[in-house]
């Protein structure tokens, strides 16, 4: 099962309950004994690629919470007075509250176990590319050579592949290609949602977007299996982002075992949010950083209850991982270090330089990775396996030649973060005689890995960007640290070095690598507080909090000059997901946010007339449209808003009416019988505690002796007896299913206020009314579409002064282009698609130089392959006696022409 809740029914006429009773079963086999509420929950499902109405989900949660227990024994015990009754009620309440903590604890334990297994398998696969252990093939190099004091040195038990260097290089490349092929093939065949990072989609899921199967058991198993293969292949991708996806899948799978969470979006959102915090916690060994990540990046509606559950889940997951001790170091992550040397004020200019690099790096990677993603979507969507193998082969071929690209990125971070005095002199990294050689290697590693990240992130394997970005920042920062240290060595008497002690090391290059990693991570994700806390928990040194804050402040200032948000937000926009960013990311000076909602709303909508609609017409609308609800008005002439009826409620009402009565083929459905508040219809307040809540809606059959309002008194007849009575019902009223209080705004309401309503209250749709008359409606996708159109028009206006010929980017040129429902995209026009259809959009990044270059390179490669094939075929035919070169060419061209003619 996947989050959000859904049934196994498909969107076909039988599942929708729109066919006559003779052509469908009333309930699935084995479900005849369900009560009315459980039966309604089966019908109440969520469409794939639609959004959740958080208001209705909250009301549903309140209704479920206020229901009396179905077990007669429990209901009887709840009515017992005295000490025994009080103790029973307290015990029952404690068990209900304790269930959530049991779920959270179980999720945390499983996340910690999975993270430990992934770390162990990844380390073994990464080392198997270089060689094997003679004492046990299942041992990595570190465990095979535990008695060696200096890490990185070989031992007699460890054998390298081939023995001599060229064969080692070939084995390294072959293993990388094999690992990447295995990962991409498994993802393509069994769980396509396991590709990529997953953070963008999880943010949308937490915001209420339905993506069935994204957090399923299959996705969890395949992503957990292929993630070590993708990392070990050497691709410039990380495991931290996919670890969050794996953790959220575990939270979803475990919570679905409990019916209390399986039917509630609100509770499932709490579990998935807590699981995302635990995923970051085990990835970085930072439980507090994981909680802050879920607050700052993942969930926009973060409550204190969610924060506490995220904290507990992260704590349990981290404790479980620490108990497993996958690295046999007593530490949570491989690159956990501790700095005991203070920093100096003269190092601040170097910190500022590192911060500037982090901002520029993030802007560069985001801009060009989006262009690569657009190219990949156009030309490589069906060649994911081949693309992963080619990228892994290129990465292994190039990376083997550089000492910092050859080893695993996590191990590289561990080496670059170390102090020189603590055993950190890895192959001359701290030697003064080799400092310029190291600077060249670090600079080359920074440039090459940046390019590899741009082309690798987003390929069809589990791929994150956190650790690769940190690796780039660490190599750049270590290079800056070596240069500053060389400056101090050359000019020790300079006045700015006066604070250095003469008999102790002054510059620690490892701290520059640490700050560079923080800057690059902050630049690509555009988060600040979380990065500071994560880096603090990694080092355990309070003295470097201030330098980290300075670096990230500069990074944030530089990144804000380019705008657009982090890589996750940009991927959301590229894919066209209905997700509203936080309010602080909006431009208050943008006129698109202050124009009236009348310019954004949909006017061509389907309505339900309260006075009467043919029942068959309603069935056709429910079956043939993708709308998730319909406004109810008095009549076609008088569009006074009565309320809003949702599609799943209407579908349930249709099924129940046909199951309980013989409906005439020409029956009329009205929406007029509205349930009054209990105790207010006769002016007397009821003293029954159950009457404090609205009664469950029911169907009214006028003219059959049933009351139109209040509670319905029906004889104890089974549905089959009612159906066999032979009396056809000519009129049925579904008014009790109408939501009388939908959110309504004026056409003059600014778009900014409407966006705040969507963010804070989470409705699926907002009606637009002028003096009580319905004039349109607006959804989240309408708002996002308008935002994309406004940005596109702004870009066209900004470039019109520089060019008289503006290429068409495929985006709509006015807000009215989306009236008929082409969601954010440009290749699909569907009048029914305001809730269940979505299309990816082209990111408007100004120039698309890299995308054009890739397209030209692809065309050149194709022509080269064709030319090589033709030359080889001609040579083969000449060798086998098929004629001379000219005749072979003529025969070949004749065959091509003949094939074209036959086709």
Q: Give 683-698 pLDDT, tens digit per residue.
A: 444 444 433 333 445 6
Q: Give the pLDDT band of residue 71 (cuts 50, 70, 90).
A: low
Query: Do residues 604 and 471 both lie within one domain?
Result: no
Q: How buried is residue 8: exposed, middle or buried, by Cβ count under 10 Å (0-12/13-18/19+)?
A: exposed
Per-position b or e across 519-538, b if 16+ CB within 10 A of its CB: bbbbbbbbbbebbbbbbbbb
Three-state SS annotation for 563-599? CCCCHHHHHHHHHCCCCCCCHHHCCCCCHHHCCEHHH
pLDDT value at 726 more than 60 = no
Cis bond upstream, residue 4 (ω within 30): yes
Query: Do residues 570 and 609 both lie within one domain?
Result: no
pLDDT value at 422 more than 60 = yes
> Which domain-ending residue is among 773, 796, 819?
796
pLDDT at 703: 54
Q: How far apart are CA 472 and CA 717, in angstroms?
A: 73
Whether 759 maps to a domain, the answer reads: yes
Bridge partner residues of 882 (DSSP): none
pLDDT value at 501 more than 90 = no
Q: Give the pLDDT band of residue 713 (cuts 50, 70, 90).
A: very low
Query: Do residues 332 and 471 both lie within one domain?
Result: yes
Query: Do residues 594 and 571 both lie within one domain?
Result: no
Indicate the pairing of strand 629-633 with strand 641-646: antiparallel
Q: How far apart are CA 862 and CA 183, in angstroms?
A: 26
Bridge partner residues of 774 (DSSP): 769
- Say which residues have a Cβ less than 8 Å from residue 767's Cβ, sequence separation at least 6: 631, 641, 644, 742, 743, 744, 745, 774, 776, 777
Kindly list the distances between the CA atom of residue 755 and the CA atoms of 201, 568, 594, 783, in Å, as whole numbers in the listed order. Answer: 21, 20, 11, 8
Query: Do residues 618 and 653 both lie within one domain?
Result: yes
- Asked if residue 512 lies in contact with residue 495, where contact means CB atoms within 8 angstroms, the answer is no
- Asked if residue 354 lies in contact with residue 477, where contact means CB atoms within 8 angstroms, the answer is yes
Contacts 24+ apart (CB under 8 A), 127-132: 128/175, 128/232, 129/171, 129/172, 129/175, 129/176, 129/179, 129/232, 129/234, 130/160, 130/161, 130/168, 130/172, 131/158, 131/159, 131/160, 131/161, 132/158, 132/159, 132/161
Q: How far apart are CA 374 and CA 381, in angstroms?
A: 10
Query: Do residues 161 and 263 both lie within one domain?
Result: yes
As a whole number of Å, the end-to-end CA separation of the chain is 46
> Which domain-ending residue is among 550, 575, 600?
575
Q: Is 6 helix (H, G, I), strand (E, B) or coil?
A: coil
Whether 80 maps to a domain, the answer reads: no
Query: Do residues 287 and 429 both lie within one domain?
Result: yes
CA geometry: angle at 288 spanning 285 and 289, to 5°? 70
Which range has the worst mean pLDDT, 146-160, 494-508, 733-747? 146-160
Query: Do residues 547 and 596 both lie within one domain?
Result: no
Indicate the pairing of strand 662-670 with strand 728-733: parallel
* Total structural domains within the chain: 2
Of the candidates 849, 834, 839, 324, the residue with the CA atom closest to the CA atom of residue 630: 834
| Residue 318 phi, psi (nearest 5) | -65, -40
Q: Tens digit of pLDDT for each residue in 762-796?
A: 788 899 999 889 999 988 888 877 777 776 666 66
pLDDT at 362: 93
Q: Concatenate the DSSP letters of all residues of 37-103 into one string.
A: HHHHHHH----TT-B--HHHHHHHHHHHHHSPPSSHHHHHHHT--HHHHHHHHHHHHHHHHHHHHHH
Whether 582 maps to a domain, the answer reads: no
- Asked if residue 227 lies in contact with residue 118, where contact means CB atoms within 8 angstroms, the answer is yes
pLDDT at 669: 87
- Asked if residue 764 lies in contact with residue 52, where contact means CB atoms within 8 angstroms, the answer is yes
Q: Give the pLDDT band of residue 675 (cuts 50, 70, 90).
A: low
Q: What CATH code is carried by the domain that includes residue 440? A: 1.10.3080.10
Q: How far apart are CA 316 and CA 290, in angstroms?
A: 12
- Say which residues have a Cβ less than 8 Å from residue 147's Cβ, sequence separation at least 6: 155
Query: Do residues 185 and 279 both lie within one domain?
Result: yes
Q: How far apart are CA 869 and CA 579, in angstroms?
A: 48
pLDDT at 3: 39
pLDDT at 5: 39
Query: Do residues 530 and 610 both lie within one domain?
Result: no
Q: Give the pLDDT band of residue 811 (cuts 50, 70, 90).
A: very low
Query: Do residues 507 and 549 both lie within one domain?
Result: yes
Q: Is 105 helix (H, G, I), strand (E, B) or coil?
A: helix
* pLDDT: which is higher, 724 or 320: 320
813: region left, alpha or beta (phi > 0 left; psi from -120 to 50 alpha): alpha
pLDDT mean over 400-426: 80
pLDDT mean over 475-484: 93
pLDDT mean over 411-426: 78
Three-state SS annotation for 789-835? HHHHHHHHHHHCCCCCCCCCCCCCCCHHHHCCCCCCCCCCCCCCCCC
Angle, helices 82-128 vs 217-232, to 10°: value is 30
Q: How far apart are CA 41 and CA 260, in angstroms?
A: 12
Q: Is 494 helix (H, G, I), strand (E, B) or coil?
A: coil
Q: How far apart are CA 246 and CA 222, in angstroms?
A: 10
pLDDT at 553: 94
Percentages helix, strand, coil for the chain (3-state, rounded to 5) are 60, 5, 35
Whether 293 maps to a domain, the answer reads: yes
Which range has the worst mean pLDDT, 578-587, 656-665, 766-775, 867-876? 578-587
Of the candidates 283, 288, 296, 295, the residue with the CA atom closest to the CA atom of residue 312: 288
> Which domain-ending residue is among 545, 575, 605?
575
pLDDT at 870: 77
DSSP letter at 136 equals -
pLDDT value at 185 more than 80 = yes
- The pLDDT mean for the chain works out to 76
Q: How far apart are CA 293 and CA 295, in angstroms?
A: 5
pLDDT value at 467 more than 80 = yes
Whether 170 maps to a domain, the answer reads: yes
- Asked if residue 268 lies in contact with residue 4, where contact means CB atoms within 8 angstroms, the answer is yes
- Asked if residue 364 lies in contact with residue 564, where contact means CB atoms within 8 angstroms, the answer is no
Whether 301 maps to a domain, the answer reads: yes
Which range has the worst mean pLDDT, 93-102, 315-324, 399-408, 704-713? 704-713
pLDDT at 612: 86
Q: Give the pLDDT band of residue 113 (cuts 50, 70, 90).
A: very high
Three-state SS annotation for 659-689? HHCEEEEEEEEECCCCCCCCCCCCCCCCCCH
Q: Give the pLDDT band of residue 166 (cuts 50, 70, 90).
A: confident
Q: What is the dihedral of CA 60, 61, 66, 69, to 10 degrees?
A: 100
Sign of CA dihedral 176, 178, 181, 182: negative
Which range has the worst mean pLDDT, 457-461, 686-690, 756-760? 686-690
* pLDDT: which is higher, 480 or 757: 480
Whether 393 maps to a domain, the answer reads: yes
**Most confidently modeled range among 69-83, 238-252, 682-696, 881-895:** 238-252
Q: What CATH code is carried by the domain that includes residue 778? A: 3.10.580.10
Q: What is the dihedral of CA 753, 759, 760, 764, to 10 degrees?
A: 100
| Residue 739 phi, psi (nearest 5) | -80, 110
* Residue 396 lies in domain: 115-144+157-575
Of the candidates 130, 218, 239, 220, the residue with the CA atom closest to the CA atom of residue 174: 130
Kindly list the distances between the CA atom of residue 501 and the CA atoms of 105, 310, 345, 492, in Å, as whole numbers in the listed order. Answer: 50, 45, 14, 10
Q: How far apart are CA 467 and CA 463, in angstroms?
A: 10
pLDDT at 806: 39
Q: Tens digit of pLDDT for each residue in 534-566?
A: 888 877 767 788 999 999 999 999 998 887 788
pLDDT mean over 868-878: 76
**Most confidently modeled range among 3-7, 146-150, 292-296, 704-708:** 292-296
- Asked if residue 837 lies in contact with residue 830, where contact means CB atoms within 8 angstroms, the answer is yes
Whether 350 maps to a domain, the answer reads: yes
Q: How far apart are CA 232 and CA 221, in angstroms?
A: 18
* pLDDT: which is higher, 340 or 401: 401
Query: Do residues 378 and 237 both lie within one domain?
Result: yes
Give pTM, 2 decimals. Answer: 0.77
């Amino acid at each position: 099962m996947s989050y959000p809740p859904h049934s196994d029914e498909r969107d076909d006429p039988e599942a929708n309950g729109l066919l006559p009773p003779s052509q469908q079963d009333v309930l699935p086999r084995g479900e005849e004994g369900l009560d009315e509420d459980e039966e309604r929950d089966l019908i109440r499902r969520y469409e794939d690629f639609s959004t959740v109405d958080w208001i209705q989900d909250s009301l549903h949660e309140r209704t479920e919470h206020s229901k009396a227990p179905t077990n007669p024994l429990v209901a009887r015990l709840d009515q017992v007075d005295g000490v025994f009754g009080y103790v029973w009620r307290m015990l029952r309440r404690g068990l209900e509250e304790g269930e959530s903590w049991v779920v959270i604890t179980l999720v945390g334990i499983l996340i910690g176990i999975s993270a430990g297994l992934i770390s162990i398998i990844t380390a073994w696969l990464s080392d198997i590319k270089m060689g094997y252990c003679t004492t046990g093939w299942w041992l990595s190099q570190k465990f095979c050579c535990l008695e060696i004091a200096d890490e990185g040195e070989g031992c007699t038990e460890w054998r390298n592949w081939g023995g001599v260097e060229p064969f080692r290089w070939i084995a390294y490349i072959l293993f990388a290609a094999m690992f990447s092929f295995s990962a991409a093939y498994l993802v393509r065949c069994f769980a396509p949602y396991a590709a990529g990072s997953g953070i963008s989609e999880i943010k949308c899921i937490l915001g209420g977007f339905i993506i069935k199967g994204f957090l399923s058991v299959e996705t969890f198993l395949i992503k957990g299996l292929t993630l070590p293969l993708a990392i070990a292949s050497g691709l410039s991708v990380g495991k931290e982002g996919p670890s969050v996806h794996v953790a959220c899948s575990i939270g979803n799978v475990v919570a679905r075992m409990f019916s209390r969470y399986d039917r509630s979006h609100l509770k499932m959102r709490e579990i998935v949010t807590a699981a995302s915090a635990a995923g970051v916690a085990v990835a970085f060994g930072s439980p507090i950083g994981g909680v802050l990540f879920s607050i700052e990046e993942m969930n926009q509606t973060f409550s204190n209850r969610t924060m506490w559950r995220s904290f507990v889940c992260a704590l349990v997951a981290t404790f479980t991982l620490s108990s497993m001790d996958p690295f046999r170091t007593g530490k949570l992550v491989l690159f956990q270090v501790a700095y005991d040397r203070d920093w100096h004020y003269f190092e601040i200019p170097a910190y500022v330089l590192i911060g500037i690099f982090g901002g520029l790096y993030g802007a560069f990677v985001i801009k060009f990775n989006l262009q690569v993603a657009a190219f990949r979507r156009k030309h490589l969507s069906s060649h994911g396996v081949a693309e992963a193998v080619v990228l892994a082969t290129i990465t292994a071929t190039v990376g083997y030649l550089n000492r910092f690209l050859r080893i695993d990125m996590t191990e590289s971070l561990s080496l670059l973060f170390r102090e020189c005095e603590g055993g950190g002199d890895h192959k001359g990294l701290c030697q003064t005689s080799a400092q310029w050689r190291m600077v060249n290697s670090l600079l080359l590693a920074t440039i090459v890995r940046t390019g590899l990240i741009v082309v690798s992130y987003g390929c069809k394997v589990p791929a994150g960007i956190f650790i690769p970005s940190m690796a780039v920042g660490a190599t750049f920062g270590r290079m800056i640290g070596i240069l500053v240290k060389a400056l101090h060595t050359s000019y020790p008497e300079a006045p700015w070095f006066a604070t250095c002690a003469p008999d102790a090391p002054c510059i620690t290059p490892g701290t520059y690598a640490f700050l560079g990693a923080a800057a690059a991570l902050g630049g690509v994700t555009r988060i600040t507080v979380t990065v500071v806390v994560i880096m603090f928990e990694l080092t355990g040194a309070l003295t470097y909090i201030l330098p980290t804050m300075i670096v990230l402040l500069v990074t944030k200032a530089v990144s804000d000059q380019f705008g657009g948000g982090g890589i996750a937000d940009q991927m959301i926009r590229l894919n066209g997901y209905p997700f509203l960013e936080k309010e602080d990311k909006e431009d208050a000076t943008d006129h698109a946010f202050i124009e009236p909602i009348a310019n954004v709303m949909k006017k061509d909508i389907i309505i339900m007339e309260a006075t009467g609609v043919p029942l068959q017409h309603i069935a056709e609308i429910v079956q043939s449209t993708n709308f998730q609800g319909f406004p109810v008005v008095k009549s076609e002439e008088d569009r006074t808003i009565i309320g809003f009826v949702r599609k799943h409620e209407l579908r349930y009402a249709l099924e129940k009416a046909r199951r309980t009565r013989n409906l005439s083929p020409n029956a009329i459905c009205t929406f007029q019988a509205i349930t009054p508040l209990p105790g207010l219809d006769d002016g007397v307040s009821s003293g029954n505690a159950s009457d404090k809540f609205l009664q469950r809606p029911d169907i009214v059959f006028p003219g059959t002796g049933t009351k139109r309002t209040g509670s319905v008194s029906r004889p104890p007849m089974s549905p089959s007896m009612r159906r066999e009575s032979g009396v056809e019902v000519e009129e049925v009223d579904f008014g009790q299913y109408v939501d009388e209080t939908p959110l309504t705004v004026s056409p003059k309401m600014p778009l900014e206020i409407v966006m705040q309503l969507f963010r804070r209250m989470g409705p699926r749709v907002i009606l637009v009314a002028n003096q009580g008359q319905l004039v349109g409606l607006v959804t989240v996708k309408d708002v996002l579409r308008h935002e994309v159109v406004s940005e596109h028009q702004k870009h066209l206006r900004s470039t019109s002064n520089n060019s008289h010929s503006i290429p068409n980017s495929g985006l709509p040129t006015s807000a009215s282009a989306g009236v008929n429902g082409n969601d954010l995209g440009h290749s699909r026009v569907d009048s029914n698609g305001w809730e269940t259809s979505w299309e990816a959009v082209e990111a408007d990044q100004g120039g698309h130089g890299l995308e054009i270059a890739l397209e030209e390179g692809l065309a050149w490669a194709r022509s080269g392959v064709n030319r090589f094939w033709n030359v080889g075929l001609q040579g083969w035919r000449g060798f086998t006696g098929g004629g001379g070169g000219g005749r072979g060419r003529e025969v070949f061209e004749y065959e091509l022409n003949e094939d074209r003619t036959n086709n």
